[in-house]
A and B are shown apart, each in its own frame.
Chain A
Amino acid sequence: MQNVPKTVRDRLQAAPPPVNHPDADLLTAFAERSLPDRERTVVLEHLARCGDCRDIVALALPEIESVQTTVRPSPGGWLTWPALRWGFVTAGVVAVALLGIVQFQRRAQHAMTASALKQPAPVEIAANEPKKEVDRFVAPAPADKKAKLQAPATPAFVDSVNGAVAADREKKNQFHGEAFPAPVALPQAAPVVGGNAGAAIGGPLPHGPRLLNQYQQQNNVQNQIPAPAPPAFAKQHADDIPVNGRVPAASQAVDVSGAATVAATHGANLDAQLAESKPAVQTPSSPYSFDTLSRAKPPTAQTAQEQALLRLQDHAAPGQIGGFVVDSSGAAVSNARVTITPSKQGKPTTAVTDARGEWLIAGLPSGSYKAEAAAPGFTTSVVALNYDANQPRMFALTLSPGSVSETVEVAAVAPQLQTEMAKIGSTISSNEINQLPVSGRDVAQMGAVSPALQPRWAVNAAGALQRSFDKGGTWQTVDVNAISALNAASLEVSPKTTQARAKDANKALKRDAATLIFRAVYAAGADVWAGGSAGALYHSQDAGNHWTRVFPASGSTMLTGDILTLEFPDLQHGKLSTSTSEVWTTADAGQTWQKQ
């Protein structure tokens, strides 16, 4: 680069200092090229003489967009319509499942397997995507359309799949000594899952050639750039299904079925596909191992955790500290005790996570704290955190499963936890079945008390009690009386109840059946308390399938006011407050109550 005479530099520097600096608005508009020419020249004239403003403009430049955004799946369109998406997904699953069966049979006869595999892969990365505080839950999600289907692939999950993949790799990888199949760009105009399934399954389908070209393009680009592209998600799920043969829970069903199309292709006979589809697909000699791919940043998809984070951010005001507690699979841990202790001296504050695994503490001063999360069946985790009261920050605490010997619970045997694979579900031992805390020893009911399948609870504006099994996606109204009428014989009333009071209770029951309006609900795992008008208090121990009416009575007084708040920090201790400003507490899970 040519040099200029020193005098030029001297004179540039000696230019008269500028007087009126352009304000931030003007500089921003200048940098974004939205100023008309006349104003732009004025700003440039200032910049020619003002080093500070030049520095400001240079510093304020945005991040350079990552060049990996080579292929953008077509934005939305009619395929984002959920019903249609689901339709495609279901159709794809069915088609692929049938084919998978066929291919499996053929596979048994073939000796050679191929390694090339065409897969739909997303490449969209928003480089400006803000790094969420909880980085743990990276979600390498598939294409934009798929990205709308929530895709929480957690590290544990990924690790388990990596293990499975590695095992598979040994068995299969003999084709040209190439690396394990690498991701393929999603053809821009291709429909969602069903279409890909069709393409990938094989046969001279119209998608074939198009897939090839884009893949090759993708290949060329990706080979040069170490891509944090997250195409491995579909792949991981693909490996998942045939290897483990499990069916994830509803909340993940979409991802699974979405990926199931590729699942079958993977599980299917690869060489058969290869023979039929275009075999010239070159897999890049993986500059990306599964590890790098699996740890990729999520594109625009929002995992459940990110949404929880945002939700908490929305309602945590300055002065509040909160977060959520999850286990290593990413499932929320409810009823976990979170203790926040100041690093310097100070007394600890405790909170208990609700059914969604969230906790919130208010009124702590800024400083550094130690956060300890504990729950039965898990090892206690301790995290140091710095908290500034002016900025509410959310913290995620992860619990790893502990051995049974570390359980604090005395009453029940801790559910056995699979540490290998992160699935949404629990293992039920035969012992547990014999001791099921549900009447009828119905194993199906056990699902309701399984931690991961606990519903969320809410009271709607009309006062109806509702629960949702899909994290708030859909809600069903729960009728406590339809069930509790049957349990009239098991009414829990204070032992001091007299005959008259029992009659009152029955009358109350009948009256309330018509006019029952709920105002408060508190759920801790499967243990649910719901309270409402005229002292109506219901308790369920199985996530709302069976209810018993509870009549708090203390001495000779019965609770008659509307119940407005309910709080049960643990199964035994509870507190409620009423519209008549009464506070009632119990220390024995609602059998006896004391009025404060």
Chain B
Amino acid sequence: MSFTTPNSGVQSVVNELLTDLHAKSGCEKIGLTRESFCVILCEVGSKHATEAMSESEIRTFFLSLRVDELALARACASGINAAWEIFLTRFREKLYLSALRIAREDSAARELADTLYADLYGTNTREGQRVSKLSSYTGRGSLEGWLRTVLSQEYVNRYRRTKRLVSLDEESEEGVQFRAPDPEPLPPAADQRLAQATDEALAALSAEDRTVLSAYYLDGRTLAEIARMLGVHESTISRKIDKLAKSLRKQIVAALARRGMSRRQAEEALEVDVRDLQLDIRRSLAQESSPPAFSEKRVEARVREGPG
């Protein structure tokens, strides 16, 4: 990986904080020199820092880093054995357990973990240099959390690819040939106004609200899962969704009215149709047990969108 020239702000902050950060990192114990650690810090800082950041912001950034785990990860990436021993002792079992939780099945979990291990060891080479995934860890989150995230990314990439290819056998199993014909779509003009009004209402929401809505209605996540993702209490999410559902309806009707629809027309346009009912039942059924990582309805949605 090429090193960008650290801007002067980062450099000066690093020089200022180096002693403290170096002491916190314990990198001598794992065989990392002070100089290499300084280089690492500069690299991490310049990746993150923008022109607009003030020195105090840069300082806060460095102080929030987990320098001990950063040092360990970079020492491992450089191939230092002492660091590897510590890494293995601390993380190997956890890695396998996390993979098992993610993949839910033993052989898939082992394969997932093994692949990650190979990446972490640096079995890949680029331009003759050993490349380890650990060199992309910058210490902003915990190393354990980072490992879990990387595992999840690998899993999503891998299985998302295979899920996209729905076999004909699966389709006939799902009874695609018996599916009722789609009900009449709305006339295009009304459709467009509805779409615009909905976009307008959604744009008025915060990013967090939209994330919650997407996670709940599109991904089929449970309230508990969404709450943990965002670090809030489950009841907060429940209240938020209730509030949003009520207000969205009102907002869309108002937006449609602004676009020339009468109130009655607007409410008709928003009425729940047969397809909605189908999805509702499925969701309420799915929520009895924890939903699969990739909800079926998304696959089905893709299947439907395919031919249609």
Contact = CB atoms under 8 A, between A and B. Distances in A.
Interface stretch (B5-13, B17-25, B35-43, B134-142): B134-142
Given A24-B146, A59-B102, A5 B248 contact: yes
Contacts of A1: 238, 241-242, 245
A27 to B, nearest CB: 5
Interface stretch (A31-39, A212-220, A448-456): A31-39
Contacts of A10: 195, 198
A48 B272 contact: no
B136 A24 contact: yes
Nearest to A57: B229
B233 interface: no
Nearest to A43: B207
Nearest to A50: B214
A56 B155 CA distance: 8
B219 A54 contact: yes
B259 interface: no
A170 interface: no
Interface residues on A, range: 35 or more
Given A54-B219, A391-B114, A5 B293 contact: no
Nearest to A56: B152
17 contacts: A4-B213, A5-B248, A5-B272, A6-B272, A24-B153, A25-B137, A30-B141, A32-B142, A44-B211, A48-B207, A54-B219, A63-B101, A130-B97, A310-B89, A313-B88, A315-B85, A390-B117
Nearest to B61: A36
Contact of A130 (B94, B160, B272): B94
B218 A12 contact: yes
Interface stretch (B26-34, B124-132, B167-175, B273-281): B273-281
B261 interface: no
Interface string B43-74: 00000000000000000100010000000000
A409 interface: no
Interface string A288-319: 00000000000000000000001001110000
B224 to A, nearest CB: 9
B223 to A, nearest CB: 8
B263 to A, nearest CB: 15
A130 B294 CA distance: 27
A45 B207 contact: yes
Interface string B251-283: 010000000000000000110110110001000
B208 interface: yes
A51 B219 contact: yes
Nearest to B191: A7
Given A3-B272, A4-B249, A61-B229, A12 B156 contact: no
Interface of B: 60, 64, 85, 88-89, 92-94, 97, 101-102, 114, 117-118, 136-142, 144-146, 148-153, 155-156, 160, 194-195, 198-199, 201-202, 206-208, 210-211, 213-215, 217-219, 221, 225, 228-229, 231, 238, 241-242, 244-246, 248-249, 252, 269-270, 272-273, 275-276, 280, 293-294, 298, 301
A510 to B, nearest CB: 44
Interface string A58-92: 11111110000000000000000000000000000
A323 to B, nearest CB: 16
Contacts of A57: 149, 152, 229
Contact of B225 (A27, A45, A58): A58
Nearest to B141: A28
Given A6-B275, A7-B269, A62-B144, 5 more contacts: A10-B198, A25-B137, A56-B149, A56-B156, A314-B88
B140, B195, B217, B276 — most chain A CB neighbours (10 Å): B140
B118 A5 contact: no
Contacts of B146: 24-25, 28
A49 B211 CA distance: 7
B148 A55 contact: no
A2 B242 CA distance: 6
Contacts of B152: 55-57, 59-60
A313 B156 contact: no
Contacts of B102: 59-60
